[in-house]
Amino acid sequence: MSTNDNNGNDGEKRTPKLNERILSSLSKRTVAAHPWHDLEIGPEAPKVFNVVVEITKGSKVKYELDKKTGMIKVDRILYSSVVYPHNYGFIPRTLCEDNDPLDVLVLMQEPVLPGCFLRARAIGLMPMIDQVMYMLHL
């Protein structure tokens, strides 16, 4: 295909300049995937399922999923000597009595960054009461 770039140059199709490409990409509306609603639980569930990591193994920072935006936000900092012993997260597309997704403690050797997802399988169940739910039951 032959084009003319108004400078008398016949030849290849004109490639937009970098600033045109940047402006074009900024004008396109994009929506980020929501890790709770948009990520599948996994084709092999309930045997093997996806887990979104919220808190990294060894961290003193408690992160939490912001339900509205789907971003992982800082909830609080642990100022004691306590750290999270394992990666902690949730199973997408699940809902528990506390209106949060099902919590998961991922037992593995390596820390995983918040917001990443991985495949896991259940080896047990540990009933827990959320601090807010505990206060409501008093």
**CA-to-CA distance for 72 and 88, rounded, in angstroms?**
13
Within 10 angstroms of residue 116's Cβ, the number of other Cβ atoms is: 14
Is 134 tagged catalytic?
no
Q: Look up residue 118 and give its two tokens.
A: 């991985």
- The H or E element that residue 74 is part of is strand 72-77
Of 63, 84, 88, 134, the catalytic one is 84
* Residue numbers annotated as active site: 84
